[in-house]
């Protein structure tokens, strides 16, 4: 992914914490902008496992089998597309005619397009809050909406859609796990690589970072790059003071935020 007019990030040493297989685009863009990058995943994505998640697996498959009963389907991430579309493809070689698809994030919309699915929110909504501003999601009188996501997660999107009259179900088709790190491993990496900015792309990733590197153990010069006001606010509540708020978790927004690092901290 080529970034138009990338900022000059020479002199920055950045830690990327995206899951395996989801970091390459950001790492390449950061390197092209002159940054020195390290990668240590603080989140991993796995399929749901039997027998632990058998009931959820069965419920999700049942809802996918009834996909033509839904009016709208929302994919909350690239992972939701990867795992959700693999399941949908088993039962629906042709997309249900009346079903409108929405995505959170440009990368998610692009992933849907690779499946040949036209996304109603392509290039628009980069988080749940902005998706809720979509003109087609304002009056949802008894519309059935299926949200494809990982196990658990925020309820804000479903709550808002229900307040607008929608009947909302989940298709949970993967799980997020925190990797196993040795005690002091993350802190040692920050020191050894002289990291001065860490990219954390979700509240869950921030929580895991906090467990290993609370503010009291971080260098005063270390900045956290966080997507959106909500996650940035969580970091502030945890006691971090050098916070760079990106517009969203996308690659372009992350680079833009890093380009303003000096003036923000």
Return mean pLDDT, the chain.
92
pLDDT tens track for 5-21: 789 999 999 999 999 88
Indicate whether 194 and 129 sit together in one domain: no
Per-residue pLDDT averaged across 133-141, rounded? 92
Last residue of a domain, one of 155, 177, 199: 177
Residues 6+ apart with CB under 8 A from 196: 12, 13, 14, 219, 221, 222, 223
Indicate whether 36 and 52 sit together in one domain: no
> pTM of this prediction?
0.88
Indicate whether 129 and 237 sit together in one domain: no
- Angle 101-103-104 from CA coordinates, rounded to 5°: 160
The answer to whether residue 131 sits within a structural domain is yes
The answer to whether residue 2 sits within a structural domain is no
pLDDT tens track for 74-132: 999 999 999 999 999 999 999 999 999 999 988 899 999 999 998 987 555 578 888 99
Residue 65 CB neighbours (<10 A): 14
Residue 225's domain comprises 13-43+179-259
Contact 229, 245 (CB under 8 A): yes
Three-state SS at 216: helix
pLDDT at 57 over 80: yes
**CA–CA distance, 127 with 135 (Å, rounded to integer):** 15
Three-state SS at 55: helix
Indicate whether 24 and 57 sit together in one domain: no
Question: Quick one: how far is CA 84 from the chain centroid?
Answer: 15
Indicate whether 37 and 56 sit together in one domain: no
pLDDT tens track for 196-211: 999 999 999 999 999 9
Indicate whether 128 and 34 sit together in one domain: no
| pLDDT the model gives residue 264 | 42
pLDDT at 218 over 50: yes
The answer to whether residue 229 sits within a structural domain is yes
Per-residue pLDDT averaged across 177-182, rounded? 90
For 59-109, list the strands marked E by DSSP: 72-75, 100-103
Q: What percent of the chain has pLDDT over 70?
A: 96
Q: What percent of the chain has pLDDT over 90?
A: 79
What is the DSSP-derived secondary structure letter of residue 60? H
Q: Which residue has the tokens 């109603």?
A: 120
């Amino acid at each position: 992914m080529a970034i138009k007019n990338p900022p000059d990030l020479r002199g920055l040493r950045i830690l990327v914490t995206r899951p395996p297989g989801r970091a390459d685009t950001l790492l390449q863009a950061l390197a092209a902008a002159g940054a020195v990058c390290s990668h240590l995943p603080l989140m991993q994505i796995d399929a749901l496992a039997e027998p632990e998640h058998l009931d959820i697996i069965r419920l999700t498959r049942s809802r996918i089998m009834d996909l033509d009963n839904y009016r709208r389907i929302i994919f909350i991430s690239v992972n939701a597309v990867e795992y959700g579309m693999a399941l949908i493809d088993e039962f629906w070689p042709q997309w249900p005619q009346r079903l409108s698809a929405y995505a959170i994030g440009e990368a998610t919309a692009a992933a849907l397009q690779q499946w040949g699915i036209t996304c109603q929110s392509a290039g628009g909504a980069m988080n749940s809050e902005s998706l809720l501003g979509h003109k087609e999601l304002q009056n949802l009188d008894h519309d059935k909406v299926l949200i494809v996501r990982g196990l658990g997660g925020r309820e804000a999107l479903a709550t808002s859609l229900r307040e607008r009259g929608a009947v909302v179900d989940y298709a949970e088709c993967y799980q997020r796990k925190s990797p196993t790190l040795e005690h002091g491993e993350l802190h040692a990496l920050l020191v050894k690589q002289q990291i001065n900015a860490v990219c954390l792309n979700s509240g869950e990733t921030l929580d895991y970072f906090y467990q290993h590197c609370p503010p009291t153990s971080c260098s005063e010069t270390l900045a956290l790059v966080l997507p959106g006001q909500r996650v940035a606010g969580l970091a502030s509540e945890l006691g971090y003071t050098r916070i760079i708020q990106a517009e969203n978790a996308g690659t372009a927004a992350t680079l833009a935020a890093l380009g303003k690092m000096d003036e923000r901290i």
